Structure 1
Amino acid sequence: MSLIIDELEQLEVETVLEVYIEHAGYEHGTPSISNISFRVKRGELLGIIGPNGAGKSTTIKAVMGLLKHAKTSVSIAGGSGKYAYVPEQPVFYEDLTLWEHLDLAGAAYGLEYESFTRHAEELLARFGMSKVRDLLPGGFSKGMKQKMMLMIGFLGRPDVYIVDEPFIGLDPRATKDFLNLLEEERKRGAGVLMSTHVLDTAEKICDSFILISSGEMVAQGSLEDIRQAAEQPGASLFDCFDVMTS
């Protein structure tokens, strides 16, 4: 009995995000997604893949509790954890500078100012944004705005990162910086839930996947699990995706 209890306690420690979505949508009685469940363990990167309109973004919104018409069960680090969200489309205040955005995020995360300042300056340098720290983001390029979203997310060092299409607008150097930071956070023990269309990159960096099509989860697990579900031994993630969503 004690062995079983120990195993259950260990599972609670390892699982940083546990999700069950019975149904969720934008109108009452018309669910966009249903019967989606998954877990993210410490250090794990789980990729959500699927065609446009399949329900990837809806799944992310349901996880964060942003949908009025949803029946879900979501637990982050046993109910006491924190998450950071990096949206596909940058969201910012027109009258706040980049540094003021970071400062506001630091306050929301409850960071001590000295710790915030040190980490924010490190992020600015890492993403090559130090020279524009006092400028308004309205004049930034798409890639610069996306970098700002990433910096705000990384600032809080949460238990879970929820990232929606992070590669859009990023140049190769920024993509490398993002992936390196993500790897560091995973080593720290953070879990990552990431939606992406960039399947070649997803195949390289994700530990596991959920494939959503027409609002339902049609495959789940490692790349090998996806290959078996698609009956495509040795195939790429793209080829499996093509077979299971055509």
Structure 2
Amino acid sequence: MVLHCQLTAAGYSKREPVLENIQFTVQPGELVGLIGPNGAGKSSTIKSLLGVIDYVDGKIDLENYAYIPERPFFYPGLTLMEHLHFLLSTLEIEEKEFIKRMQKMLREFQLEKVVHQYPDSYSKGMQQKAMIMLAFLQQPKVHIIDEPFMGLDPTVVRKLLDMIEWEKQRGAGILMSTHVLDTAEKICDRFLLISHGKLIAEGTLTDIQKKSELPDASLFDCFHILTERGEVNDRLGII
């Protein structure tokens, strides 16, 4: 187990928590999809894991992780190359090995010509590629990825999926929040479905199909029925 989350409650104040009874694990070499409607609590769950939410009642076991945010951010006044050299200074890794992998990723993501420019001047897609580079070069035990496919063209999405698979083979655990359910269905080992701040379903696609009573249905169809059922139960006060 590389990530364990056991939240009794979490949110922006103790009196009004936005998450309740969220419990899950991520194993080495496992890709877990975090899915749910807008406002369901996915971002709050990630913020709880990262320790950047105001109130947390529970236990989180997480170390040596890399985070790819939905909205890329960079250190002001540093070029991408300076970001990369700073990252290298924080890692216990052979410099030659790091530079070899760095140069390979720069070529694959077509960032070689802009590596000495400031990422703030990049397009959204280029910024996202730069964030992916900085995260995957760390080779952490856990990747936390928030909406990774936003702003990426199909070619880069394919490269990202290949990199995710390589990280799984290396033994890294991955928690990925996404709205792209058709892709998630193909690549995720398990799913966590959050609605109204509660975990309403979890498990493999087969588990989700059983929970939704839709044998052989797509993740999209299961998502729809379970979310609607969760909203009804929430209105009725049914746990």
Calculate the TM-score normalised by the size of structure 2: 0.92
The residue number in structure 2 matching 1:29 is 15
State the match for 2:26 in structure 1.
40
Pairing partner for 1:115 from 97, 113, 125:
97
Q: Structure 1 residue 98: deviation in Å?
A: 1.0
Q: Indicate yes or no: 2:227 matched with 1:241.
A: no
Residue 52 of structure 1 deviates from its aligned partner by 0.1
Identity of aligned residues (%): 49
Tell me what 2:51 maps to: 65
- Which residue number corresponds to residue 10 of structure 1? none
Which residue in 2 is equivalent to 1:162? 144
Aligned-partner Cα distance in 2 for 1:69–1:39: 21
Q: Secondary structure at the match of 1:27?
A: coil
What is the match of residue 237 of structure 2? Answer: none
- Of the three residues 24, 35, 38, the one matched with 1:49 is 35
Q: Tell me whether 1:128 sits opposite 2:114 in the alignment.
A: no
Matched, 1:85 2:67: yes
Deviations 1:133-174 (A, max 9, x none): 111112211000000110010011000000000000011011
SS at 1:197 equivalent? coil
Deviation of 1:130 after TM superposition, in Å, equals 1.2
The within-5 A match list for 1:143-162 is 143-162=125-144
Q: Confirm or deny: 8 A CA contact 1:62 1:72 kept in the other structure.
A: no
State the match for 1:20 in structure 2: 6
Cα separation, 2, equivalents of 1:173 and 1:222 = 27
Within the alignment, does 1:95 sit opposite 2:77 as a pair? yes
Q: What do the CA deviations read for 1:175-216 (whole angstroms, capped 9, x no partner)?
A: 011110110010010010000000000000000001000000
Of the three residues 181, 191, 206, the one matched with 2:163 is 181
Match 1:200 to one of 169, 182, 185: 182
Question: Which consecutive unaligned segments of at least 5 residues does structure 2 have?
Answer: 229-239
**Aligned-pair RMSD on alpha carbons?**
1.2
* Structure 1 equivalent of residue 210 of structure 2: 228
- 1:109, 1:201 → 2: CA distance? 32
2:231 matched residue in structure 1? none
1:41 is displaced (CA, Å) by 1.0
Structure 1: state its 5+ residue gaps: 1-14
Q: Does 2:158 match 1:172?
A: no
Please say if residues 17 and 40 of structure 1, whose CA atoms lie closer than 8 Å, have aligned partners that are also in contact.
yes
Local SS of the residue matching 1:115: helix
Residue deviations 1:91-118 (CA, integer Å, cap 9, x gap):
0123111111112222233444333322
Distance 2:165 2:116 in 1: 29
Distance 2:75 2:4 in 1: 32
- Cα deviation for residue 223 of structure 1 reads 0.4
CA–CA distance in structure 2, aligned partners of residues 121 and 99 of structure 1? 11
Q: Indicate the SS of the match to 2:38.
A: coil
Taking the aligned partners of 1:199 and 1:168, their CA distance within structure 2 comes to: 13
